[in-house]
Structure 1
Amino acid sequence: MLTGKQKRFLRSEAHHLSPIFQVGKGGVNDNMIKQIAEALEARELLKISILQNCEDNKFEISEEIVKGTRAELVQLIGNIIVLYKESRENKKLELPKVK
């Protein structure tokens, strides 16, 4: 579970990132979740955009992706989801320590 301080840090790191996945009319499927999990292992922090033609609720989509990838939801703002998952082999981000 991320603290508020850690989420603020991750939001600032994610600000300059571009979304690398898009959820469209088809919604979320197993293949997409697998690809997102692999990208999280490589990058640790990423953005996903929800397109206008997506019929599902953005909260349900974010919940489904978080469950499937076992990642942490950093932020859901507008139609952009920001996810974080600590990498086992490609550790890049050093989170602020919890006191």
Structure 2
Amino acid sequence: MTATIIVMYVGAMTFDLLLGDVRSLKEKRSVVRPIVAELQRKYAVSAAETGQQDLYRRTELGLAVVSGDAGHLTDVLDRCERLVAGHPEVELLSVRRRIHGDDD
């Protein structure tokens, strides 16, 4: 009898964003929600606004993804970063990325 080894990788990213010409929390939501929805729809990641909710020109977005393949996980995280950075209505100030494997 052979044992099957299941390997799982979890990737997490946090984006610190400066929003463009936004003057209210309502306008902020109209910028942030479509980005979160696009990340979820295109890449099947869990994504949400995770910080700076009380400031209308700054936000923090967080996302997480699980994969059985480290290469696939890295590819998804790269694509998510490019998607967020490509939105002209936000300025990407910083990105934090963490990948956890079974040996962590």
Answer with 1 or 2: which has the greater Rg. 2
The structure where strand makes up a greater share of residues is 2
Q: TM exceeds 0.5?
A: no
Q: What TM-score, normalized by structure 2, do the two folds share? A: 0.30
Q: What TM-score, normalized by structure 1, do the two folds share? A: 0.31
| Structure ranking higher on relative contact order (CA contacts 8 Å, 6+ apart) | 2
